């Protein structure tokens, strides 16, 4: 089983895919696709992430997303969670829409952004969904070639600048570049352990980060196994601030986890911890 990617940092670029549970469709019609785009726009606005390429297929989607902040898990939790709610409510169904956790690959921007963006928009042609790429409305391709007004969350200019100094020449060169990708090997054949795509230096640096994050998570899980459940802290300590501070002091829980259980913001948890530590200084 592929290990989930745990490397998060400001400016990170990821190729993200998410598939329907049991390969079932996640988009039944164009209305579903528009709803997903609306949810994506809200995610980008709230979490300050930027989309470089995307493609909606029938039972999955692709995103090339850059996180201005180190917050991919939050972005994806909102995207898949909110869209699932809309889908289930609209189609009057229950249960999981997506097949487990999304898959993310950390991508080296300078070396692989162009190739990965091309791979993403070529999906409808490779799947024989359409005969010509401009027939597929549900990808970033038609925004890049000027068939529609690009939304604010789609970073069009950076990519097109790699192909020409004027909009017209850049679009023509971009179209040629994309079509030249047909029949080419997938860039993901060079993926390291299915989570990193880049040159040797990039892989070495981020592999160490991945291992560090896994070690931190392992230690946290071990501490959590012997720690009190968060609900016990609520029962044991009537003072909410003390309960939150003692839960955090156990080192088994993050402030975000404590905030969710206690129904407060992480800022409130932080203040409680600081106040408790100050009051108990010897």
Mean pLDDT rounded to a whole number for the chain: 88
Residue 1 has pLDDT above 50, yes or no: no
Q: Quote the pLDDT of residue 264.
A: 87
Q: Quote the pLDDT of residue 215.
A: 45
| Cα 136 to Cα 115: distance, rounded to the nearest angstrom | 19
Task: Outline where 60-166 has alpha helix (H).
Answer: 72-91, 109-121, 123-126, 141-144, 157-161
Q: Quote the pLDDT of residue 203.
A: 83
| Domains along the sequence of the chain with CATH | 12-211 (3.30.70.1290), 227-279 (no CATH)
Q: What is the secondary structure of 94-110 as a DSSP string?
A: -S-SB-SS-EEEEE-HH
Q: Is 9 left (phi over 0), alpha (psi -120 to 50) or beta?
A: beta
Residue 100 has pLDDT above 60, yes or no: yes
Q: Quote the pLDDT of residue 8.
A: 84
Strand partners, 196: 106, 192
Report how far apart, in Å, the C-alpha atoms of 114 and of each of 181, 190, 222, 251, 259 are: 11, 15, 41, 42, 40
Q: Quote the pLDDT of residue 224.
A: 52
The confidence band for 56, taking pLDDT boundaries of 50, 70 and 90, is: very high
Strand partners, 106: 14, 196
State both tokens at 224. Answer: 């959590």
Q: Quote the pLDDT of residue 232.
A: 80
Q: pLDDT of 229-272, one tens digit each?
A: 887 888 888 899 999 988 888 767 788 888 888 888 888 888 89
User: What pTM value is reported for the model?
Assistant: 0.74
The stretch 204-233 carries a mean pLDDT of: 61
Residue 45 has pLDDT above 90, yes or no: yes
């Amino acid at each position: 089983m592929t290990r989930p990617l745990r490397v998060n940092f400001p400016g990170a670029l990821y190729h993200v895919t998410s598939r329907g549970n049991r390969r079932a469709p996640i988009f039944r019609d164009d209305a579903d696709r528009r709803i997903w785009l609306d949810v994506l726009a809200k995610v980008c606005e709230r979490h300050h992430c930027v989309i470089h390429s995307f493609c909606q297929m029938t039972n999955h989607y692709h995103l090339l997303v850059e996180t201005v902040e180190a917050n991919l898990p939050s972005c994806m939790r909102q995207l898949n969670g909110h869209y699932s709610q809309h889908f289930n409510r609209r189609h009057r169904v229950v249960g999981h829409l997506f097949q487990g956790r999304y898959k993310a690959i950390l991508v080296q921007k300078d070396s692989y952004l162009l190739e990965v963006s091309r791979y993403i928009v070529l999906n409808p042609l490779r799947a024989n969904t359409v005969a010509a790429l401009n027939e597929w409305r549900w990808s970033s391709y038609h925004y890049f070639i000027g068939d529609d007004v690009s939304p604010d969350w789609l970073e069009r200019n950076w990519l097109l600048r790699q192909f020409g100094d004027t909009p017209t020449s850049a679009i023509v060169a971009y179209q040629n570049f994309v079509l030249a990708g047909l029949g080419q090997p997938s860039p993901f054949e060079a993926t390291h352990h299915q989570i990193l795509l880049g040159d040797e230096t990039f892989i070495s640096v981020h592999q160490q980060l991945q291992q560090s994050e896994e070690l931190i998570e392992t230690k946290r899980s071990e501490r959590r196994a012997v720690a009190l459940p968060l609900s016990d802290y609520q029962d044991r300590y009537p003072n909410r601030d003390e309960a939150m501070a003692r839960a955090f002091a156990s080192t088994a829980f993050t402030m975000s986890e404590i905030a969710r259980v206690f129904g407060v913001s992480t800022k409130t948890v932080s203040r409680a911890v600081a106040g408790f530590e100050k009051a108990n200084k010897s």
